[in-house]
Amino acid sequence: MAEILTGTPVVGGLAYGPALWPGERPDHSPEKLGVGVEVAEDGRADEASRFTGAAATVASRLRERASQNTGVTAEVLAATAGLAEDRGWVGAAKGLIAKGSSAEAAAVAATEQFAAVFTKLGGLMAERVTDLNDVRDRVLAELLGLPEPGVPTPQEPSVLMADDLAPADTAGLDPAMTTALVTRLGGPTSHTAIIARQLGIPCVVAVSGLSDIEAGTPVLVDGNTGLIEVRPDDEMARDRVAEHRRHAELVAGWSGPGVTADGVAIAVLANVADGASARAAVDHPVEGVGLFRTELAFLERADEPTVDEQAAIYREVLDAFAGRKVVIRTLDAGSDKPLRFVRHPDEANPALGVRGDRIALAHPEIRTHQLDAIAQAAMGSDVAPWVMAPMIASPTEAANFAAEVRGRGLVAGVMIEVPAAAILAHAVLAEVDFVSIGTNDLTQYTMAADRMSADLAALTDPWQPAVLHLIASVAAAGRDQGKPVGVCGEAAADPNLACVLVGLGVTSLSSAPVASAAVGARLGEVTEEACRAAAQAALDAVDPATARVAAAAVLDGSVEPSVDDGVRRAASR
C-alpha cells in the first residue's frame, strides 16, 4: 500500500511524477556568516558596499526576470525585487554592518528582525516571510560567490516540493514539466498557491511529513483532496491522471443543454438568490432557474418589502433569464432562515415549526403580497414563471397554494421536502402542475437528522437509500400524471447522484451554477438505461457509501447494468 500524506488542498487537479526539490540554500552556520568576527572599523564602509552591491545585483536579476514574464508572475517577481531593495531591510543590515557585523551576518540578522515583525502581523504579511528569506538567500549566495539558489530545470514532468516556494523559485515554471506544487509550509494565499493557480497546476500546502520524501520518489498529488500518495502503483496512477485530464477537458468544454448520451433531455438549471446571483448564473451552462430562494433576498429586512419592491427584485431574475425557465419559490422563512418581518413565534423546534408555506397560517397577507409581486414582475416580461411553495406536507396545502397561484394566471407547483408529501405524491401532484424535490430537507426529515449538525453528517447524506426510495415514488407519480418532477437540493450537484436521480425518473436538476458543467458533462456520458441501472443499484444498497460505490460501478461501466422490474416499471410510467 502506498504511504499517504495529507495537506491543505489549494488548487485542484491530479498529477503524478517524481519529487523534485529545489537546490541547496546557502549554509547559515555562524562560521560561514562570520558571526562573532568583528569587521575592523576602517573596513565597514567597504563591507556595507559589498552588501548593497549584492542586494542591488539580486534585485536587478529579479527585475530582469519580471520583465520577461507577464501577469501575476511578473508582479510577484517585481515585488520580490522590491524586497531586495527595501529601504528598511537594507537600512537595518547597514546599521548592523556599521556596528562591525559582516555583510553575510547582517543579511541574516536583518531578515530575522523583519520576519519576526511580519509573523507578528500575521495573515498575508506572515506569508511574505518566505519571500524575504528567499531574498536573503539570494543575497547570501551572491556575497559568498555561490550559484543562485532555486529550482533546477526538471528533466521529466515532476512534482516540485519545498518547505515553501518563493515567487522567484516558481516564476517562469513550465507547467508541462512542473506538474504540481507541494509544500510543507504555506497557506491558501501564499505565493506558491497564487503561482500554481496561474499555471493551472494542482497544489497542496502544509503537508506534514513531506521532508521525508526523497528527490526522485514517485508521488501522486490530488489537489482536490490534499492527499499525496507516495510510490503509488505506477499504472493506476497514470490511468487516474489520464482519466482526470479527459474528464476536466470534458467539463470545461460542456456548454449544455442537458442531455443523456442517448438523447434524453434533462434540464440543467441554477439555484439563485437575487438579481445579482441570477446575472452571475447566466455565465454558466444552465438552461434556466430551477430554484429562486426568495427569502435570501430579504434576510436583512426588518419590515416586509412592498409589493413594488419585491416585484422589482423578482423582475431582475426574470430579466437575467429572459425567454427561459424560471421557478420562483415563495418565502421559505423560519428554522435556519428566519426573516425579521415575519415575526416567527418562539418555538422549541423551529425545523418542525411554522416554517415555509406555514407562515401563511398566521400571516396570509405575506403570501398574498408575494404572489401579487410575482404576478406583477411577470407582467410584460418574456418569462412565465413557475411558482412553488416550500414545506408542503399535504395535498390540501398543495391545493390551497395552487388556487392562489393559478388565480393570478401563474403555473403552480410545490416542493417535496416533507416525507408525508413524498408518500402522497400522487395526491399532491394531482393538485399542482409540477413538483420540485428539495433533497436537503427531504433528507433531514426522512432521517430525523438536523441538516446543520456536523455530527449527523453521515445521516444527512443525500445518497441515503431511504431518501432515494421516496424520490423514486415521487418521480413515478410524476410520470403517471405526465407532470415534471425536478430536484433542486444539493443532491442535484453531485454528477453521479444526478444520473441516479435521472434513472429514478427526475426530469430536471437544479443546483449551484458552478456544479452545472460537471453534472451536464456526466449526463452526456451515460445512457438513460445506465442511469436506471445505477438507480437500481443505489436503491438496493443499505447505506450511502454502498449506494455511491454501486452506482459508480454501473455508470463507469465496470458492472453490467441490470434493472429490475420495479425501476423499469417506475421509470417507464
**CB closer to ligand PEP, 129 vs 509:** 509
Stretch that binds ligand PEP, among 52-60, 116-124, 345-353, 439-447 (CB under 6 A): 439-447
What stretch of H or E contains 362? helix 359-362
Amino acid sitting at position 212: D
Q: Are 268 and 258 in contact (CB under 8 A)?
A: yes
460: contact with ligand PEP by CB under 6 A = no
Which residues make Cβ contacts (< 8 Å) with residue 370, sequence separation at least 6?
Answer: 294, 310, 330, 331
Question: Using CA atoms, how far apart are residues 561 and 555, in angstroms rounded to an integer?
Answer: 8
464: contact with ligand PEP by CB under 6 A = no
**CB closer to ligand PEP, 368 vs 440:** 440
438: contact with ligand PEP by CB under 6 A = yes
357: contact with ligand PEP by CB under 6 A = no
Exactly one of 287, 431, 441, 528 binds Mg ion (CB under 5 A); that residue is: 441
Stretch that binds ligand PEP, among 310-318, 436-444, 452-460, 530-538 (CB under 6 A): 436-444
Counting Cβ atoms within 10 Å, is residue 24 exposed (0-12), middle (13-18) or buried (19+)? exposed
**CB closer to Mg ion, 47 vs 490:** 490
Exactly one of 5, 291, 326, 493 binds ligand PEP (CB under 6 A); that residue is: 291
332: contact with ligand PEP by CB under 6 A = yes
Strand 434-437 versus strand 411-416 pairing type: parallel
Strand 158-162 versus strand 325-329 pairing type: unpaired
Paired strand residues for 486: 436, 508
Q: Which does 541 bind (CB under 5 to 8 A by kind): ligand PEP, Mg ion, none?
A: none
Stretch that binds ligand PEP, among 163-171, 402-410, 433-441, 564-572 (CB under 6 A): 433-441
462: contact with Mg ion by CB under 5 A = no
Question: Using CA atoms, how far apart are residues 98 and 46, in angstroms rounded to an integer?
Answer: 10
Q: Are 11 and 203 in contact (CB under 8 A)?
A: yes
Closest separation in Å from C-beta 440 to Mg ion:
5
Q: Which does 385 bind (CB under 5 to 8 A by kind): Mg ion, ligand PEP, none?
A: none
Write out the three cell numbers for 404.
392562489
Q: Which does 104 bind (CB under 5 to 8 A by kind): ligand PEP, Mg ion, none?
A: none
Contacts 24+ apart (CB under 8 A), 66-75: 66/171, 68/172, 69/171, 69/172, 71/198, 72/194, 72/195, 72/198, 73/167, 73/171, 73/172, 73/195, 73/198, 74/171
105: contact with ligand PEP by CB under 6 A = no
Q: Which does 170 bind (CB under 5 to 8 A by kind): ligand PEP, Mg ion, none?
A: none
Paired strand residues for 436: 415, 486
Q: Which does 439 bind (CB under 5 to 8 A by kind): ligand PEP, Mg ion, none?
A: ligand PEP
Other CB atoms within a 10 A radius of the CB of residue 344 amount to 18
438: contact with Mg ion by CB under 5 A = yes
Near ligand PEP in 399-418, by CB under 6 A: 417
Q: Which does 59 bind (CB under 5 to 8 A by kind): Mg ion, ligand PEP, none?
A: none
Count residues binding ligand PEP (CB under 6 A).
10
Max alpha carbon distance in the chain (Å)? 99
Q: Which does 80 bind (CB under 5 to 8 A by kind): ligand PEP, Mg ion, none?
A: none
3-state SS class at 90? helix
Stretch that binds ligand PEP, among 57-65, 425-433, 437-445, 453-461 (CB under 6 A): 437-445
Peptide bond preceding 484 in cis form (omega within 30 of 0): no
Stretch that binds ligand PEP, among 155-163, 187-195, 342-350, 432-440 (CB under 6 A): 432-440
Draw the binding track, 413-432, toward Mg ion (x: CB under 5 A; -: no contact).
----x---------------
Q: Which does 47 bind (CB under 5 to 8 A by kind): Mg ion, ligand PEP, none?
A: none
What is the 3-state secondary structure of 444-478? HHHHCCCCCCCCCCCCCCCCCHHHHHHHHHHHHHH
**CB closer to ligand PEP, 47 vs 461:** 461
Closest-CA residue to 213 (of 11, 25, 3) = 3
Q: Where are the strands (E) in 172-216, listed by range?
A: 178-183, 203-205
Grid-cell match 437528522, residue found: 449
Exactly one of 169, 397, 404, 441 binds ligand PEP (CB under 6 A); that residue is: 441
Q: Which of 191, 244, 344, 363 is catalytic?
A: 191
Q: Which does 293 bind (CB under 5 to 8 A by kind): Mg ion, ligand PEP, none?
A: ligand PEP
Q: Where are the strands (E) in 378-449, listed by range?
A: 386-389, 411-416, 434-437
Q: Which of 244, 344, 363, 488 is catalytic?
A: 488
**CB closer to ligand PEP, 142 vs 490:** 490
183: contact with ligand PEP by CB under 6 A = no
Query: Is 191 noted as a catalytic residue in this protein?
Result: yes
Chain Cα centroid distance, residue 318: 27
Draw the binding track, 376-415, toward Mg ion (x: CB under 5 A; -: no contact).
----------------------------------------
**CB closer to ligand PEP, 131 vs 332:** 332
Question: Using CA atoms, how far apart are residues 24 and 105, in angstroms rounded to an integer?
Answer: 19
Q: Are 351 and 390 in contact (CB under 8 A)?
A: no
Where on the chain is the footprint of Mg ion (CB under 5 A)? 417, 438, 441
Known catalytic residues are 191, 488
Where on the chain is the footprint of ligand PEP (CB under 6 A)? 291, 293, 332, 417, 438-441, 488-489
